[in-house]
Amino acid sequence: MAGSQIEDVFADVIERARVLDPANARRWFDHLCILQLNNGRLQIGCPDEAKLRFLRDKCQSGFNLAAQQVTGHLVVVEFSIEASQRRQARPQTGRADLKLHPDYTFENFVVGPSNRLAHASCIAISQSPGDTYNPLFIYGNSGLGKTHLLHAVCYELKDRDGDTTIQFLSCEEFVNRFIRAIEEGNLAGFQGQFRSVDAIVIDDIQFLSEREQSQEEFFHTFNALYNNGKQIILSCDRSPAEISSLEERLISRFSWGLVTRIDPPSYETRIAIVQKKAHLRGLEISDEIAEYIARKLQTNIRELEGALTSVYAVMNTTGEPVTLELAKKALAGQIGPEIKSISITEIIEAVTGHFDVRLADLQSKRRSQSITLPRQICMYLARSLTRHSLEEIGGHLGGRDHTTVMHACNKISEVGRRDTEMHALLTELTRQITQVGRVGG
Ligand code: ADP
Ligand code: MG
């Protein structure tokens, strides 16, 4: 194949991957490049470790299928970091082990009155770790951006100095690694890993509650780092004093530096976040729709993201442009004082009810059309209305593998676009399921 032809194929693969999996489509896919296409392998280059991890974790099966559909051959996609892109990008040293999410940067964080102080302290720390606010303790309810900010600080610390060593992990992981170190009789190794870094960033520190031995260990880690002027950043779902069964000496240490709270975002901030999130996915929505979503969803930003995903799911089913009417339809039933996430079980109940089949049939090996169709519709709805992976969805439906699920989603989505009856059925099932979600919540 000539070079320009390969480029065309590659552009089609990217486009197809976006359609197949809109929730994980990102604008920066435009900057991916093709490294090689031969022997059934399509090698794709990306600029940095965070994007590489995202592609491998979230996008592998979508890209494989896209490549297979576009080329008509059994092609397997491989992602890697492309050396020339790396030079233009930010420095990379040692970021690989940090497991940073490519979306969670300062650039993608919307600042408003509810999070201004937390954001400003994170910026200050990333410019001058160890001597501005130490420790920094950020707290607030779930879904308000704490984890996002912690990732952003890690990015910036690494940018500023690629040799900076950071331990960034959830408190649960800290506890688990501590327990494992004890079991393996390697406490010294554990302590060496944590007490020698330039910064320690621990998410959801409330997990220390009632874990006395871990508290003891963390106390010594804290002291060792603090005394050496190393940066400590902690996030929590409540203030230090509200963590139950936490030793007094830790409570007081958590308050030595800056304790800052994140509140639920204002209406204006929510609009800006909706628009930012849509933009990240390479999708534009009108101000009217952003305002509608922001007005309806008030407490948790994760709900905003779920709302956007629903809007796009319905948009993909119907193939219509996103109008306010369509957004309202997509969000009907999902919006309420308490938004309950939709489970695969609810989807299966609605579908088996409609087709009058049993779950056991869907999970069986039977391949007659009367069973295959409802099974595929379940897969499609689970894909568009929940955040379960293809593997998980396949697991619920008799242990099907991810390519089977991807094929089903793709097929139903295409039939839904062509066939008005199918379209009506999918819309109706979606309405039923999302309303069940609300009533049950
Ligand atoms: P928490 O750790 O406080 O529970 P997260 O950091 O996981 O919350 O945030 C939940 C979602 O909301 C993430 O996708 C995050 O990117 C998004 N988010 C939260 N606050 C903001 C903000 N100010 N700007 C942009 N996105 C935000
Ligand atoms: Mg979090």
Distance 73 CA to ligand 2 centre (A): 41
pLDDT band at 157 (very low <50, low <70, confident <90, very high): very high
Q: Residue 137 and residue 154: Cα distance in Å, rounded? A: 15
Q: Residue 194 and residue 202: Cα distance in Å, rounded? A: 11
Domain range summary for the chain, segments of one domain joined by +: 3-88, 116-261, 283-330, 344-436
- Model pLDDT, residue 424: 86
- Model pLDDT, residue 168: 96
**For the chain, what is the mean pLDDT?**
87
Does the structure show a pLDDT above 50 at 437?
A: no
- Model pLDDT, residue 331: 77
- SS3 at position 376: helix
Q: Indicate the top mutation candidate among 301, 339, 387 to test ligand 1's pocket, ranked by most ligand atoms within 8 A of CB.
A: 301
Distance 102 CA to ligand 2 centre (A): 15
- SS3 at position 400: coil
Region 208-222 average pLDDT:
94
Q: Calculate the alpha carbon distances from 234 to 6, 28, 253, 257 in Å.
A: 48, 30, 11, 11
Q: Does residue 374 have its Cβ closer than 6 Å to ligand 1?
A: no
Q: Does residue 238 have its Cβ closer than 6 Å to ligand 1?
A: no
pLDDT digits 0-9 by tens, 66-106: 998 888 888 889 999 986 655 444 444 455 578 899 999 99
Weakest mean pLDDT among 75-89, 244-258, 327-341:
327-341
Domain 116-261 has CATH 3.40.1370.10: no
Tell me the CATH architecture of domain 344-436: Orthogonal Bundle (1.10)
pLDDT digits 0-9 by tens, 18-68: 878 878 889 899 999 999 888 889 999 998 889 999 999 999 988 999 998
- Model pLDDT, residue 305: 77
Q: Calculate the alpha carbon distances from 226 to 48, 177, 192, 278 in Å.
A: 31, 21, 15, 40
Q: Is there a common fold for 116-261 and 344-436? A: no
| Helix 344-355 and helix 369-385, axial crossing angle in degrees, nearest 10 | 150
Region 262-267 average pLDDT:
91
Domain 3-88 has CATH 3.30.300.180: yes
Does the structure show a pLDDT above 70 at 416?
A: yes
Q: Residue 214 and residue 173: Cα distance in Å, rounded? A: 11
Region 236-260 average pLDDT:
94
Residue 104 CA: which ligand 1 atom is closest?
A: 16
The DSSP-derived string for 254-296 is HTSSEEEE-PPPPHHHHHHHHHHHHHHTT----HHHHHHHHHH
- Model pLDDT, residue 441: 33
Q: Does residue 274 have its Cβ closer than 6 Å to ligand 1?
A: no
Percent of the residues in the chain that have a pLDDT greater than 70, as a whole number = 91
Region 120-132 average pLDDT:
93
